[in-house]
Amino acid sequence: MKKIFLALLFCSPIVVAEEFLPIGTWIVASDDAKVEIYAVAEKLEGKIVWLKTPTNDQGKTSKDDKNPDEALKTREIMGMIFLKDFKKDKDEWSGGTIYDAKSGKTYKANIKLDGKDKLKLRGYVGIPLFGRTEEWKRQY
């Protein structure tokens, strides 16, 4: 009887809850950039790895010219780390920030996955109620 029980136990399908992580490459909502999200210690960061238009009107590499910090106005948009300090909190990553190079402003932000291939990024001022959500698609 024990042998039959053990045989059934090892032959039974085991259901394991799969936890999806936002680590990987994502296509932003506007389809004009790709972002790589990766782990640094216990937190997540993200950097721009592809731009549809990597140069400005003069054909020069796009710079962070809207940044309020004069020392950062000459840094390139390509490769720029603009998502920082996201920590795992139940079913989302919170406590992070997103830098918007188009406005030169930094916002608080949360990341939540909707399945394994859809990421919802919410940037906000003050509390999440006062913000905007974008959906990104996973790049394979």
Instruction: Flag whether 8 is in a domain.
Output: no
Q: Provide the β-strand partners of residue 21.
A: none
Instruction: Flag whether 13 is in a domain.
Output: no
Domain that residue 93 falls in = 18-138
Here the CATH number for the domain that contains residue 73 is: 2.40.128.520
Tens digit of each residue's pLDDT (9 = 90 or more) over 43-94: 999 999 999 999 989 999 999 999 999 999 999 999 999 999 999 999 999 9
Number of folded domains that form the chain: 1
Report whether 138 contacts 120 (CB < 8 A): no
What are the φ and ψ backbone dihedral angles of 99, each rounded to 5 degrees?
-100, 130
Q: What is the average pLDDT score of the chain?
A: 90
The mean pLDDT value for 112-125 works out to 97
